[in-house]
């Protein structure tokens, strides 16, 4: 999903390239966090922000990442909740597989 930081349409080309050469698993999870929550977590955990870590940048990257996740059969987990709840959702997905 790191290719979502690349410009459009390069992010899709790079994703497809890496999907060909990187080992795969049938289960792929995308932990989705809205831009406001992501920014809150970033600002709380670090003193210095990286490029693209403002709200607008986070929104653009999230949109591209979600597009890749939907079109490549990733399981999307709402991760705006506390870590313990997200962990429970992941465990539930793994149990049913």
Q: How far apart are the first and last CA of the chain?
A: 22
Out of 1.20.200.10, 3.40.630.10, 3.40.50.300, 3.40.1160.10, which CATH number does the structure's domain 2-96 have?
3.40.50.300
pLDDT digits (tens, 9 = 90+) for 58-83: 999 999 999 999 999 999 999 999 99
Asked whether the predicted pLDDT for residue 48 surpasses 90, the reply is no
Asked whether the predicted pLDDT for residue 97 surpasses 80, the reply is no
DSSP per-residue string spanning 36-96: HHHHHHHHHH-SSPPTT-SHHHHHHHHHHHHHHHHHTTPEEEE--S-HHHHHHHHHHHHHH
The H or E element that residue 20 is part of is helix 10-21
Whole-prediction pTM: 0.89
What's the half-sphere exposure (Cβ side, CA atoms, 13 Å) at 49? 14
DSSP 18: H
């Amino acid at each position: 999903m790191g290719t979502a930081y690349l410009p459009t349409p390069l992010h899709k080309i790079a994703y497809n390239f890496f999907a060909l050469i990187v080992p795969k698993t049938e289960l792929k999870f995308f932990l989705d966090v809205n831009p406001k929550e992501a920014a809150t977590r970033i600002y709380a955990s670090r003193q210095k922000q990286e490029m693209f870590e403002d709200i607008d940048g986070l929104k653009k990257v999230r949109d591209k990442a979600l597009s890749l996740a939907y079109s490549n059969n990733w399981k999307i987990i709402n991760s705006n909740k506390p870590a313990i709840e997200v962990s429970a959702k992941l465990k539930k997905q793994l149990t049913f597989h």
